[in-house]
Structure 1
Amino acid sequence: MKKFFVKLFLVLATVVNVFGGLTVQAQEDGKLNVVITTTHLADMAQDIGGEHVNVTGLMGPGVDPHGYEPTPSDIDALNNADLIGYNGLHLEAMFTDVFESMEKSGANIFSLDEAITEDQILDYKYEGKDLEDDPHIWFDIQIWDQAAKLVADEFAALDPDNADYYQANYEDYSKRLEELDQYVKDKVAELPEEDRILITAHDAFSYFGEKYDFRVEGIQGINTQTEAGTGDISITADLVIEEEVPAVFIESSVSDRNVQALIEAVEARGGSLGIGGELFSDAMGTDEENAGNYFDCYKTNVDTIVEGLKK
């Protein structure tokens, strides 16, 4: 822990000393230099910004944003940015102090929670208590549409000459989201309602479950930096037996340790539980995995869930 705070102090010192002197250089090619934390948001920013932006994503495929610590190269990228965007709702917890310092230094920075209303944010519940806001908002397609509009507006504010271009790209993106929503509804309809029980390594799919009528159970909670206790695994194992759930799902950015523990707990009760496949939760995948952009990634997840839960 002491080592982390020393590292964070050095990062913040770099931000304070360096920020502000490099933004002109970033605009020499006439494009906005945009730095984004997560894969989902970076992909969207590129779609909205098109040929008028250079998007740098700090986190790659399979990277867990909950525990990702900013590196010196990340700080260099942030210091050179015309615009910085992040998910917010404590998803990128290790960046909190960095972003606060940059805002005080005059950085152009936004988070996606600015695009949504309080009543749209789901609370993570444990034993009936609301513990924290759920940051996995990209699984709600309506919220993601609002986030895309925010991104277009942010680009237009810094580059008003191309405001119409960004608006047109947003409108195209919004239509694609409508088509995606219909695809998901049609696919989910293949599963009887009583079979829509989704168990994953951590609780990243509540927005998906709320939208498409799934009961969602995450073994580990919404934060991958916490550990699942034996009680959590026991309760989930009882659910599997009682509801005859055929499969649990691993995630590309989360250890499968708790999933294996759940399978063992189910088998100890005389039941069986398969692995339904790998889902892309906190980070997208690659083009080779058919998960290299938001739309493909969402479809791949839905296809995997539906096929994995069919009995």
Structure 2
Amino acid sequence: MKHSLFLICFLCLIASGCNGSKGNTSQTDTNRQTATVDPDSPIAVTTTVGMVADLVRTVGGDRVNVTQICGSGVDPHLYKATRDDVATMMRADVIFYSGLMLEGKMTDTLIKMARNKPVVAVTEAIDQASLLEPDDFAGHYDPHVWMDVSAWSKCVTVIADELAAIDPPSAPAYQERAAKLREQLSELDAYGKRVIATIPKDSRILVTSHDAFNYFGRAYDLEVIGVQGISTESEAGLQQINELVDLLVNKKVKSVFVESSVPRKNIDSLVEGAQSRGHEVNVGDKELFSDAMGSPGTYEGTYIGMLDHNITLVARGLGGEAPEKGFQGKLSP
């Protein structure tokens, strides 16, 4: 696209050992605009996480063959590319990743791949003014943007434009599917605002395993508290646990939630602490999806299904009203 200068700067920062940049530069090869794919063969696409892979599959349709590196239940914060992953990336025509340091341990591999092919951060189209910068994330933006459906929908345009650039004959089809997907995401976002608003105001406190839900809270008007820090490498100390137990008891929080890709031990400590003080707290009967989606082949294994699941589970768990099977009637029982 437009990032050769940014790429040079980014590589210089890496070489000098600097890591304070908050930018979201795509690591795209400078010659990408002249490289096109065989119109008679599927485009080999490698993606990092499921939230990206699902958008690419939807926009790309039959023209793309997508390989996803981080599967269901895998924490992308901690994941290191294996030798097989590197081989898969080398065979790809284009690589899409989330960006904003979500895949921090894969950064070096992505930079190397960008020397020979398009390597694209799908979050590059999101206005930095709308990104969150938590105090405990070392000067970087919060990468969990997919929790805000409206913000994540901007990634659809990046994907459609990048696929069109390497496959011009299929550009109209990409743009048509992208427009349809954006419309579906707009409907999902409206559903989220509607059902979360049914939660009593004094019950709109979302306590989860780690700070992956800040964008979710901002988008749907919830106070969000993560037991673990923004990165799953941090640990909640005893003092923080005690402070959160005080909050649960004093505000009479009814439910707390565990996440599919994060150990639940800290949430269990909260529940036990509240019980010792005579306050019963429910743990959601289902896990929230944070850094990974549901199992492949399920509705929850799609981006729309993932967010539908989260929105519906939170609304019902905190005393709001939402259809048991979600806004499309497809959620698993």
TM-score of the pair, normalised by structure 1: 0.86
Q: What residue identity is the alignment partner of 2:277?
A: R
- CA deviation string 1:46-97 (max 9, x = no partner): 0000011111111111111111111111111100011001111111111011
Query: Could you give the per-residue CA deviations for residues 147-178 of structure 1, whole angstroms, max 9, x where no partner exists?
Result: 01000001001101111110001000011011
TM-fit CA distance, 1:310: 1.4
1:62 aligns with 73
Q: Counterpart in 2 of 1:119?
A: 129
Tell me, in whole angstroms, the C-alpha distance in 2 between the residues paired with 1:125 and 1:290.
35
Aligned-partner SS, 1:56: strand
1:269 Cα deviation after fit: 3.0
- Higher helix proportion (structure 1 or 2): 1
Segments ≥4 residues shifted beyond 3 Å: 26-29, 129-132, 287-290
**Conserved? CA contact 2:149–2:189, under 8 Å:** yes
Query: In structure 1, which of residues 101, 108, 112 is the aligned counterpart of residue 118 of structure 2?
Result: 108
Name the Cα RMSD after superposition.
1.9
Say which is worse superposed, 279-288 or 173-182, in terms of deviation: 279-288
Counterpart Cα distance in 2 of 1:211 and 1:125 = 19
Task: List alignment gaps of at least 5 residues for structure 1.
Answer: 1-23
Q: Please, which of 191, 202, 206 is the counterpart of residue 198 of structure 1? A: 206
Shift of residue 270 of structure 1?
Answer: 3.1
User: Could you tell me how far apart the structure 1 residues matched to 2:298 and 2:250 are?
Assistant: 34
**What are the Cα deviations for residues 72-125 of structure 1, in whole angstroms up to 9, with x where unaligned?**
11111100011001111111111011112222x232101123111111111123
Residue of structure 1 equivalent to 2:49: 38
Q: Deviation at 1:204? A: 0.6
Write the letter of the residue equivalent to 2:208.
T
Alignment CA distance shift 1:158-1:289 (3 Å) = closer
Amino acid at match of 1:301: N
CA displacement at 1:265 relative to structure 2: 2.1
Letter in structure 1 aligned against 2:281: L
Please tell me the residue identity of whatever aligns with 2:209: A
Q: State the identity as a percent.
A: 39
The number of aligned residues is 284
Which of 272, 278, 292 aligns to 1:283? It is: 292
8 A contact 2:72–2:296 mirrored in 1? no
User: Does the residue aligned with 2:96 lie in a helix, a strand or coil?
Assistant: strand
Aligned to 2:140: 132
Are 1:231 and 2:242 an aligned pair? Answer: no
Would you say the 8 A contact 1:140–1:207 is kept in 2? Answer: yes
Greater displacement, 27-36 / 153-162: 27-36
Partner of 1:210: 218
Query: Which protein is richer in strand relative to its size?
Result: 1
> Letter of the aligned partner of 1:109 in structure 2?
V
CA distance in 1, matches of 2:88, 2:98: 17
Matches within 5 A, 1:1-311: 30-103=41-114, 105-126=115-136, 131-276=139-284, 277-286=286-295, 290-310=299-319
Shift of 1:245: 0.4
Instruction: Report the AA paired with residue 239 of structure 2.
Output: G
Greater shift in the superposed pair: 229-238 or 279-288: 279-288
Q: In structure 2, what is the Cα distance between the partners aligned to 1:133 and 1:272?
A: 35
Distance in 2 (alpha carbons) for counterparts of 1:130 and 1:279: 26
- Does the 8 Å contact 1:39/1:57 carry over to 2? yes
> Which amino acid in the other structure matches residue 41 of structure 1?
V
Looking at structure 1, the residues matched to 92 and 100 of structure 2 have their Cα atoms a distance apart, in angstroms, of 22
User: Structure 2 length normalisation: TM-score?
Assistant: 0.81
Q: Which runs of 5+ in 2 are unaligned?
A: 1-34, 321-333
